[in-house]
Amino acid sequence: MSYRNLKPSLIPAIDHLAVLNRNNFIASTHQPKRSPMAYASARSEGPPSQDLIRQTADAVRRRVLEHTLNNNGGYLSQACSSAEILSTLYLRVMCLGPSQAPLVPRRFAGVPGSDNPAAFTGADYNGPKAPELDRFIFSPVHYALVLYSLLIELGRLGPGALDEFNQDGSTVELIGAEHSPGHEVTAGSLAQALSQAGGIALARRLRGETGRVWVFMSDGEFQEGQTWEAFAALAHHRLGNLGVYVDANAQQCDGPMDRVMGIEPLAERLLAFGAEVHTVDGHDPDALAAPAEEDSERDRPLVVIARTDPCRGLDQLRERAPKLHYVRFKSDGEFQTYRSLLETLREGAN
């Protein structure tokens, strides 16, 4: 199901966020280029254009670069590789309602448990839980800065939401957890979220819910055994209501995937594990959305392997290869180079 065949009353009406944005405004160095209102009208007029998705992805890259400069560190190459995947998921593939969460991120309220009614997850930034609506499970949580930046661009988080990034008591964590905006589960120990998503998908099917479960994963997670056990379970339970988008950027924390531990041929392996598999250009919004928009009643999980470039939009990063996983500038000269690059990118966007 895509947003196109959703009841009009459920189409995300995010224009109210424009008002909330004004009321909760916190000073930020950079405002989202496109107002939430623009997204609302784009959605009500039909599928968002490739241009809108690409512009959003570029804005996400700029925001992550800005943050990396301000903090002298950040998961920058992950923004380069995944910006179109996440933008396409939020703007085109997933059927989500308006955010139910505050624009200013809540403080951490403790871990969930029967003795802690104050605990919450960050899933309410993705809208309410409703039978017809989709759920989003964000697995490689070191990509959290990319997700927060996208939520800001979409008006689901306020423009100052990164002000408390990685501070004690903040939910805007460097390595996201279940209470972090846009996150529903804790998955810092990688490759666990798919199993949790499978449980959610099975429960939804048993309840007769029509909404899907979408999972975002990184390729490094396919080096872990739990991922394969999860796929075996998804196929066994014929969970056609679950779809996975993989950022196949060919990198992990210790270097290029093929040097650390190869996972290819990934498509063939996933096929053998009972999934429906599509391999696409991960920077092409139409190609990314197409498998999810196919009108088929699936009885097996969908996997979209999105082949991406970890330096997309920031060619300068290639000089750092193969050390791309976390970017910290090594000299004042390098810092200034990236700062000028950000200015150039901003000018190009205006």
Ligand X SMILES: Cc1ncc(C[n+]2csc(CCOP(=O)(O)OP(=O)(O)O)c2C)c(N)n1
Strands 213-218 and 135-138: parallel
Least spacing, CB of residue 18 vs ligand X, in Å: 33
Answer whether 215's CB lies under 8 Å from 137's CB.
Answer: yes
Answer whether 245's CB lies under 8 Å from 214's CB.
Answer: yes
DSSP string, 265-286: SHHHHHHHTT-EEEEEETT-HH
Instruction: Specify the residue, 6 or 187, whose C-beta has the smaller distance to ligand X.
Output: 187
Q: Which of residues 220, 240, 243, 285 is near ligand X by CB under 6 A?
A: 220
Least spacing, CB of residue 44 vs ligand X, in Å: 35
218 binds ligand X (CB under 6 A): yes
Least spacing, CB of residue 188 vs ligand X, in Å: 6
Q: Which of residues 54, 62, 142, 283 is near ligand X by CB under 6 A?
A: 142
323 binds ligand X (CB under 6 A): no
Could you say which DSSP state residue 220 is in?
Answer: G
Answer whether 89's CB lies under 8 Å from 136's CB.
Answer: yes
Q: CB under 8 Å, gap of 24 or more: what pairs does 66-69 form?
A: 66/29, 66/30, 66/342, 67/145, 67/149, 67/162, 67/165, 68/327, 68/338, 69/329, 69/335, 69/338, 69/339, 69/342
Instruction: Specify the residue, 52 or 197, whose C-beta has the smaller distance to ligand X.
Output: 197
Q: What is the x/- site pattern for ligand X, positions 73-112, by CB under 6 A? A: -----x----------------------------------
227 binds ligand X (CB under 6 A): no
Q: Which of residues 19, 111, 203, 253 is near ligand X by CB under 6 A?
A: 253
325 binds ligand X (CB under 6 A): yes
121 binds ligand X (CB under 6 A): no
Q: Which of residues 154, 190, 246, 306 is near ligand X by CB under 6 A?
A: 190
Instruction: Specify the residue, 39 or 148, whose C-beta has the smaller distance to ligand X.
Output: 148
Q: Which of these ranges, 44-52, 160-168, 203-211, 212-220, lies near ligand X under the rule CB under 6 A?
A: 212-220
Site for ligand X in 30-69 (CB under 6 A): none
Least spacing, CB of residue 84 vs ligand X, in Å: 15
Candidates 215, 232, 195, 72; CA nearest to 134 is: 215
- Give contact residues for ligand X (rule: CB under 6 A): 78, 140, 142, 188-191, 218-220, 249, 251-253, 325
